[in-house]
Every structure is written in structure tokens, then in C-alpha cells.
Structure 1
Amino acid sequence: MDVRRPPAPRPSVAAAVLLMAALLLAGCSGPSSPRDPRDATSQAAAPRARTAADDLQDAYLRVIQDVLPSVVQIQAKRDLGSGVVYDDKGHIVTNAHVVGNEKTFRVTTAGSERELTARLVASYPPQDLAVVRLDDPPDGLRPATFGDSPKVRVGQIVLAMGSPLGLSSSVTQGIVSATGRNVTEGGDDGGTGATIANMVQTSAAINPGNSGGALVDRDSQVGGTPPRAARAPGAGG
């Protein structure tokens, strides 16, 4: 039987096949292969996102370092609250319901366990505000910077600093949820029972003990002091 082999490919055909294979391999792994532009975008966005998060965290830390030393814990006979140092003479702003009808108080500054004595200067229950003064202001007492409450805007990031549930030097974070609220403090639970106008509403967690503390913006300015508990008139609890 006469078995014939198929003719070998011509050199030109074989060279073309080898060239095509080389080009395919180069297209899969070579440096000149085209890249999806979305890959470069996602890789560039990741460092930017990390930088933005780091910047925000640094801003929080800076505000806390600026303001927290100015926030104190105030202990009355029947109530516990917070206060904000107003000046280096020992004046402290707090809520009227924190001081109640008492005249003397025990005050603990941030970062210290030493109890200081303070006396009532004045109380104004219609706005739930009061001022007490330390009998012997310690060296290095740091006054807070008070801002302009009417300039507070909805959506601003704020930090609430105080002694919720007796846990001194605590910080929570949120935003300004609304401004210009008219709210009524509960009278049965130790509040003044007053209806207070132009209040700032915030999403930052506020608990018993935060009363009289600081609501602070990212410029380290105190824009308000959280009341004990409030409800909108006619809206129930």
C-alpha cells in the first residue's frame, strides 16, 4: 500500500503561525497589553479614601484634646451631671436641673480623681442654665471656647462630651439633626419642666449625666449644653 505523508507546511505558513502565537502570548502577559482604566481609578481611589478617613479621625482627636480637659463632672446630693469650664477663675457652666436647689457641689476635672468643692453663683431654670464656681481653682484649669449657637447648621458634625451614667470624660459623635426646636423638659424626673426655645437637636448619644456637658463642633467650639431629657410639646415621651 502506498502511504503518502501530508506535505509539510511551507516556511512562510509556519513562520506566520509562530508569529501569531508570539503575538498572542505577548498580548496576554506583555507590558504593552491594554489595561482596564477602572483598575487604575479604583487603585487611586483607595489611598484617597484612606487619607480622608485619617484626616477625619485626626480632626476628632484634635477636638477631643482641645475640649475634653474643659469638661468636668458635677456631683450634687441628689443628682450627677457635667459642666464646662468658662474661665480660669473657676466659673463652670452647667444646667439648672443639675444644681437643683443646692448651694454646694463636688467637682472632678478631666484626668483627675481629686474632688474639688464649688458653690452656686446663679441659676436660671427657664433656660435650664446655671453657673457654679470652684472654691480653689487648680493651676492649669483650661477654659473652653464658646461658639455662636445661632450659627450652628443642620448636618454639622458634633461631639458630645460629659459624664453619662457617671462615666466621666466620655465622648459620643453625631450630627446636628435640627435647629430652632422648642422642647419641654420633664418635671417629674428632676428636670425644670420649662419649655425652652431654639434648642439644637443632635444625633449624638445623650444619656443621664451628660446634662451640662459640651456639644462641640469641629472647630473645638462649644455650641450648647445637653439638657436632661426633653420632649416636643404634644408629642408624648
Structure 2
Amino acid sequence: MPALTFPRLRSLPAAALLAVCILWSGGVPAQPRPVTPRGPLDAVEQNNISVFRRVSPSVVHITTLDTQRDFFSLNVEQVPRGTGTGFIWDDAGHIVTNFHVIQGGDAARVTLADQSSYGARLVGAFPDRDLAVLRIEAPREKLLPIPIGTSRDLLVGQGVYAIGNPFGLDQTLTRGIVSALNREIESVNRRAIRGVIQTDAAINPGNSGGPLLDSAGRLIGVNTQIYSPSGASAGIGFAIPVDEVNRVVPRLIKDGRFIRPAIGVTAGSAQLHQALKLPKGVAIVGVGPRSPAADAGLQAFTRGRDGRIVQGDVITALNDEPLGDLDDMLTLLEKRQVGERVSLTLWNKGKTRRQVVVLGASSD
């Protein structure tokens, strides 16, 4: 259908044009329509507002900085490198975020919800779980720690919220559900992160390191990754469960790094397992001198003088929890403490035995 045109009206003065419009409308100028009363907000909306108001002061914007030197003047300046999200852990100024948010930066600045900004120093990081802790020197009255929940009792279908800074837009709230539990993703150093929460709450670049909350406004996870061919939210986001965070962060604050308990063995490759038709677990190909494994008498696979492989031990379970590979064992060890006694189930030439080992400290 061709567009309607009124060429003669274009030449009329404004006053005359207004008069024509009044005549066409029946002689009465149009009035704004009356506003329909809205009524009270429903329970879901009220909870959305309540959670955001209570928790958003605990959420921060993190800007990582690079140091650059001007070629001509030789002046040194810091320029923004990337942005992300974090949250206030305690009133001592500790800020939790993802390791990949601050990875490679020379410095970082933390902007609080009231837009005050502070230089941050790195306290500790654990790339295996994509977690890092920063610290800022800010007045205690501005440091509102986020409420901590639990992740072990989460159910698929329960409501969740994410607060973050997607694309640099401060203090954005999105809402969704727990889509799945016990997912597995890969950390920045290619370690498997197991037990991850999947959510359809919109998570975009810049949300990384921000909190995933339950409907009570408690922290249940740290948003860390999205699955998206386009790089934007596709309704599949992942969060590190808070039980893991609450285990790792205090140790980063205390020691500056996560000291993983260790047995003191070197693990064989998957190819070795296949070639020798070994059971699932960790084939020991090296035992560290004066290590817990050496003290316990664990045996490594070796090669005899005739070139044949001499059978060693395969660790098939730790405290009766079956092991599929080395990553399984490292994950279980991270839940223990240095000096703790654990029971290993060992396979050797078709026979199994149990051996108690006192955990030492890893050197990585």
C-alpha cells in the first residue's frame, strides 16, 4: 500500500497546521490518557527488588590495568586492560573474583557500589578453580560482606539471581533457575572443575567473578563461564559452587596460595593405562624421595634390565572413593589438609591392598 502524503500541508504555517489538526480531530485538542492504577507488586517482583537492594552493595566492579611507557616521553601510565565483577568477602577488605579476570594484569582497581574506587593488591589465587582474592583499603562502613549460603543442597529448578557488570554496565540484575548440577568445565590451566552449577540466568562478558545468589539473596556460586557461539549470553552459564569457594578462599587469605595436600607420586599417562590394560586410577611411575608415598612403601612402575616393565602400584580409590584418573585424585586431595591421614586402595598384579598415608604439602 503506498504511503499517504499531504504535499499542500507542508507549505502551511505552524499555526495554520495546528488549526487544521484541531478541525480534523473534531475541534478538541488531544489530551493525555488517564493512568491506570498499577496495584501492588507481586511477590516475585518484591523479592527481586529486595534481593538486589540488600546484596548489590556487596558487589564490586573490577578493572585490570596494564603499565605502558610512552615511547617519546618515557612517561609511565596505567591503562585499562579488562573488566569484571567481584564481591566483598569480609570487612577486612578482601574481594573475591575469578582468576581469569585479573590474569595478566599489572594492577587492578575496585569500584564499590557507591562509585568510590580503590587500588587493589593480589592476596592469592588458585587457577585450578579460577578463583582469586584481592584486598582494598576502604573504610569498614563501606565493606558489606556478601551473605554466604550453601551449594550442596541445591535443586534443579530453584530460582537464582546474578548481579554483575556485563559489558561494563554496573550493577545489573538477571534472574533464572538452576538448570543443572554437577557439570564439568575446564579452568584456565586446563584442570577440570567438577560439581559446577549450570544456570540460565543471563551471564555476559563482565559478569565473570560476580555472585550467583539463591532466592534468599545468599551466595551459592561464583559466575565464571558462559557457553555461547556468539560470545554473548545463550542461557547457559556456569558458576563455581560456594562450598568450594568457602573452602578455597580462607586458605588463599591465610597462605597467599592454595597448598594442596600431596602424596608424592608421579602419575602415568592414559596411554600407559591402555597399553598395560590397567584398571582405572593413578598408575605410579615415580615416588618422591622422603615423600609420604615413600614412607608408606608405595611402588612405582619401572623398567628392568631386560627392558620389560616391572609392575608397580595403581591407586584405585582414596578413602573408598573410586578414582578414574589423576584429576579425580587431585580433586579429592584438595578437600583434605596437610598432615591428615588417608586410606589408599592399591592394585598390583591383580591383587588389592589398603595403605594409610599421611599427607604432605605439594610444591606447586
- Normalising by structure 1, report the TM-score: 0.69
* Distance change >3 Å, CA 150–CA 200, structure 1 → 2: same
SS of 1:205's equivalent in the other structure is coil
RMSD after superposition: 2.1
Matches within 5 A, 1:160-171: 160-171=162-173
Alignment partner for residue 60 of structure 1, among 48, 56, 67?
Answer: 48
Q: Distance in 2 between matches of 1:171 and 1:203?
A: 13
Q: For each residue in 1:60-111, what CA deviation from the matched residue of structure 2 results, as whole angstroms up to 9, or x when unmatched?
A: 1111111111000011023211001001111011101011144631011113
Q: Is the 8 A contact 1:184 1:230 kept in 2?
A: no
Matches within 5 A, 1:160-199: 160-185=162-187, 191-199=188-196
Aligned: 1:108 with 2:105:
no
Cα distance, 1:137 vs structure 2 = 4.2
Q: Which amino acid aligns with 2:122?
A: L
Q: Distance in 2 between matches of 1:76 and 1:65?
A: 27
Question: Corresponding residue for 2:95?
Answer: 92
Question: Corresponding residue for 1:122?
Answer: 124
SS of 2:203's equivalent in the other structure is coil
SS of 1:61's equivalent in the other structure is helix
Q: Distance in 2 between matches of 1:82 and 1:227?
A: 10
SS of 1:226's equivalent in the other structure is strand
Alignment partner for residue 70 of structure 1, among 27, 45, 58?
Answer: 58
Alignment partner for residue 225 of structure 1, among 204, 222, 227?
Answer: 222
* Distance change >3 Å, CA 130–CA 152, structure 1 → 2: same
Question: Of the two structures, which has the highest relative contact order with CA contacts closer than 8 Å and spacing of 6 or more?
Answer: 1
Q: Distance in 2 between matches of 1:136 and 1:59?
A: 30
Q: Distance in 2 between matches of 1:228 and 1:103?
A: 23
Aligned: 1:83 with 2:80:
no
Cα distance, 1:135 vs structure 2 = 2.8
Runs of 4+ in 1 over 6 A off after TM superposition: 50-53
Question: Corresponding residue for 1:141?
Answer: 143
Aligned: 1:215 with 2:197:
no
Q: For each residue in 1:2-51, what CA deviation from the matched residue of structure 2 results, as whole angstroms up to 9, or x when unmatched?
A: xxxxxxxxxxxxxxxxxxxxxxxxxxxxxxxxxxxxxxxxxxxxxxxx99
- Of Structure 1 and Structure 2, the greater helix share is in 1
Q: Is the 8 A contact 1:103 1:119 kept in 2?
A: no
Q: Distance in 1 between matches of 2:63 and 2:42?
A: 37
Greater Cα radius of gyration, structure 1 or 2: 1
Q: Is the 8 A contact 2:92 2:140 kept in 1?
A: no
> What is the aligned length?
176
Q: Which amino acid aligns with 1:62?
A: S
Cα distance, 1:166 vs structure 2 = 0.5
Gapped regions of structure 2 (runs ≥ 5): 1-37, 66-80, 229-364
- Of Structure 1 and Structure 2, the greater strand share is in 2
Gapped regions of structure 1 (runs ≥ 5): 1-49, 186-190, 232-237
Q: Is the 8 A contact 1:97 1:192 kept in 2?
A: no
- Normalising by structure 2, report the TM-score: 0.46
Q: Distance in 2 between matches of 1:135 and 1:104?
A: 15
Q: Is the 8 A contact 2:156 2:177 kept in 1?
A: yes
Q: Distance in 2 between matches of 1:122 and 1:215?
A: 22
Provide the identity percentage: 41
